[in-house]
């Protein structure tokens, strides 16, 4: 059983939950400028983990035929048979139960919005079959995190976390465009859509940089909207440097350092921004 769990975590890249979770925590602590109650923190964390696990597992199920043909993904446990599809469906069911129950325990608004979130969790996997906007659809999925964290604490709608959500959307789209450079030839040959397929590698790099400029702009707008100070602005500067490093690692479309650019750099963006935000509020 432990071996199966390890294979499952490898299948869904469980460690990448760090991409979205810090933004959910940012939404929570900024909503009322204090630490959330322990039950709210626990249920929000479980909801995030449940949603992310369901989404990634669905991706492996829905894309299994594509993964079988793509040399880059042929070693995934879902393709090799190390983790059966039937087990994946069980994992999806359990994850969704955790997600919906956690949302229900938070407040009525979160529970109602959880069904809208499910539409994006399921639907974004199909967008690359017909539109190059797939990167931005994935961005919407991750952008749910800060909004969900804010609503988990307050239980009422506010426009302010939408600015942080926009930053997450463009941040995600930007790094996903870079990551898709690996598959541009395969995607074009198999009728799949992406920004690199539609516009070419050079233009894709420009668009990705534009997305990350928009990320910094929306982070700044969010900080202004909620009245954050110099420590938060220092966090934005650090994140801007990290994004600059990411693009330098893939300068001229050289994908030698794609894993460092995608996994290491982006993993730190959300974590460091949350740390700076936390220090801003509780200094």
Q: Are 220 and 178 in contact (CB under 8 A)?
A: no
DSSP string, 196-265: HHHH-HHHHHHHHHHHHHHHHHHHHHHHHHTT--HHHHHHHHHHHHHHHHHHHHTGGG--TTHHIIIIII
CA of 19: how far to CAs of 22, 41, 272, in Å?
A: 7, 17, 11
Percent of the chain past pLDDT 90, that is, above it, reads: 78
CATH of the domain at 163: 1.10.357.140
Radius of gyration over alpha carbons of the chain, in Å?
19
Directed axis angle between helix 230-249 and helix 201-225, to 10°?
Answer: 170
User: What is the average per-residue pLDDT within 91-100?
Assistant: 96
Total count of domains within the chain: 1
* Residue 40, both tokens: 């709210």
The Cβ of residue 246 has, within 10 Å, a number of other Cβ atoms equal to 23
Q: What is the pLDDT of residue 11?
A: 77
pTM for the predicted model, two decimal places: 0.93
Residues 149 and 27 sit within 8 Å (Cβ to Cβ)? yes
What is the band of 254 on the pLDDT scale with cuts at 50, 70, 90? confident
Mean pLDDT of 261-271: 83
pLDDT at 223: 96
In sequence order, which residues have a C-beta less than 8 Å from that of residue 260 and are 6 or more positions away?
249
Q: Which tokens sit at 274?
A: 């949350």
Structural domain containing residue 190: 2-282
Tokens of 53: 């696990």
Q: What are the residues whose beta carbons fall under 8 Å from the beta carbon of 70, sequence distance 6 or more?
A: 183, 186
- The answer on pLDDT for 69 being more than 90 is yes
Indicate if the pLDDT at residue 40 is higher than 80: yes
Average confidence score pLDDT of the chain: 92
- How far is Cα 125 from Cα 63, in angstroms, rounded to an integer? 8
Q: Is 177 exposed, middle or buried (0-12, 13-18, 19+ CB in 10 A)?
A: buried
Q: Is the pLDDT of residue 253 over 70?
A: no
Asked whether the beta carbons of 163 and 218 are under 8 A apart, the reply is yes
CB atoms < 10 A from the CB of 1, how many?
Answer: 5
Q: How far apart are CA 129 and CA 127, in angstroms?
A: 5
> pLDDT digit string (tens) for 9-34?
777 776 667 788 999 999 999 998 99
Q: What is the mean pLDDT of residues 178-205?
A: 95
Distance CA(190)–CA(79), nearest Å, equals 18
pLDDT for 141-163, tens place per residue?
A: 999 999 999 999 999 999 999 99
């Amino acid at each position: 059983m432990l071996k199966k769990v390890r294979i499952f975590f490898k299948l869904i890249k469980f460690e990448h939950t760090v991409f979205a979770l810090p933004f959910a925590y940012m939404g929570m602590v900024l909503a009322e400028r204090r630490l959330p109650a322990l039950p709210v923190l626990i249920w929000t964390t479980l909801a995030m983990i449940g949603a992310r696990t369901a989404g990634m597992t669905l991706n492996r199920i829905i894309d299994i035929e594509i993964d079988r043909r793509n040399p880059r993904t042929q070693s995934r446990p879902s393709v090799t048979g190390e983790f059966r599809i039937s087990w994946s469906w069980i994992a999806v069911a359990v994850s969704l139960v955790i997600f919906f129950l956690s949302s229900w325990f938070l407040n009525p608004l979160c529970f109602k919005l959880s069904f809208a979130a499910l539409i994006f969790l399921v639907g974004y996997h199909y967008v690359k079959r017909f539109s190059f906007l797939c990167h931005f659809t994935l961005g919407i999925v991750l952008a749910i995190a800060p909004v969900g964290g804010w609503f988990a604490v307050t239980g009422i709608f506010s426009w302010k976390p939408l600015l942080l959500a926009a930053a997450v959307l463009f941040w995600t789209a930007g790094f996903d465009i870079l990551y898709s450079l690996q598959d541009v030839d395969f995607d074009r040959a198999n009728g799949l859509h992406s920004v690199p397929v539609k516009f070419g590698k050079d233009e894709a790099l420009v668009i990705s940089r534009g997305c990350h400029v928009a990320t910094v702009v929306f982070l700044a707008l969010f900080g202004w909207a909620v009245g954050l100070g110099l420590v938060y602005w220092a966090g934005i500067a650090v994140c801007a440097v990290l994004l600059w490093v990411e693009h330098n690692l893939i300068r001229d479309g050289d994908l030698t350092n794609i894993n460092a650019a995608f996994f290491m750099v982006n993993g730190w963006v959300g974590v460091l921004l949350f740390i700076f935000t936390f220090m801003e509020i509780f200094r």
